[in-house]
Amino acid sequence: MSIPISMTVNGQPVSGSVEPRTLLVEFLREQLHLTGTHVGCDTSQCGACVVIADGVSVKSCTALAVQCDGSQVTTIEGLANGATLHPMQQAFNDHHGLQCGFCTPGMVMSAVDLVTHAPNPTDEDIRKGLDGNLCRCTGYQNIVRAVKAGAEGMRTGMGG
Partner 1 sequence: MNAPAKTVGTSVKRTEDARFLTGRGRYTDDINRPNQLHAAFVRSPHAHAALGEIDKPSAMDVPGVVAVFTGADMAADGVGGLPCGWQVIGKSGVPMKEPAHPPLAVGRVRHVGDTVAVVLADSRHAARDGAEALMIDYDPQPAVVHLADAGAAGAPQVHDEVDGNVCYDWEIGDQAATDEAFGKAAHVTRLELVNNRLIPNAIEPRAAVGEYDPADGSYTLTTTSQNPHVIRLLMCAFVLNLPEHKVRVVAPDVGGGFGSKIFHYAEEAVVTWAAAKVGRPIKWTAERSESFMTDCHGRDHVTTAELALDADGTFLGLRVKTLANMGAYLSTFASSVPTYLYATLLAGQYRTPAIHAEVKALFTHTTPVDAYRGAGRPEATYVLEKLVEKAARELKMDPAELRRKNFIQPDQFPYQTPVALAYDTGHYEASLDRALELSEYSSFAERRAASEAKGKLRGVGFSCYIEACGIAPSAVAGALGARAGLYEAAEVRFNPTGSVTVFTGSHSHGQGHETTFAQIVADRLGVPMANVEIVHGDTNRIPFGMGTYGSRSLAVGGSAIARAIDKIIDKGKKIAAHMLEAGEGDIEYKDGVFSVAGTDKSLTMGEIAFQAYVPHNFPHDKLEPGLDESAFYDPGNFTYPAGTYICEVEVDPETGHVHVDRFTAVDDFGTIINPMIVEGQVQGGIAQGLGQALLEGAVYSDDGQLVTGSYMDYAMPRAQHIPDYRFDFTCTPCTHNPLGAKGCGEAGAIGSPPAIINAIIDALGPLGVDDIPMPATPLAVWQAIQDAKGGTARAAE
Binding site for partner 1 (CB under 8 A): 19, 21, 29-30, 34-43, 45-46, 48, 75-77, 79-80, 85, 89, 92-94, 96, 98-105, 108, 123, 126-128, 130-131, 133-144
Any residues with CB less than 8 A from the CB of 28 and at least 6 apart, and which?
9, 34, 37, 51, 60, 73, 75
- The single-letter DSSP state of residue 8 is E
Q: Are 89 and 79 in contact (CB under 8 A)?
A: yes
- Residue 156 contacts which entry, ligand FES, partner 1, none (Cβ below 5-8 A, type-dependent): none
Using CB under 6 A as the criterion, what x/- string covers residues 54-93 for binding ligand FES?
-----x-x--------------------------------
CA 51 – CA 60 distance, rounded (Å): 6
Interface residues toward ligand FES, by CB under 6 A: 39-41, 44-49, 59, 61, 98-104, 135-138
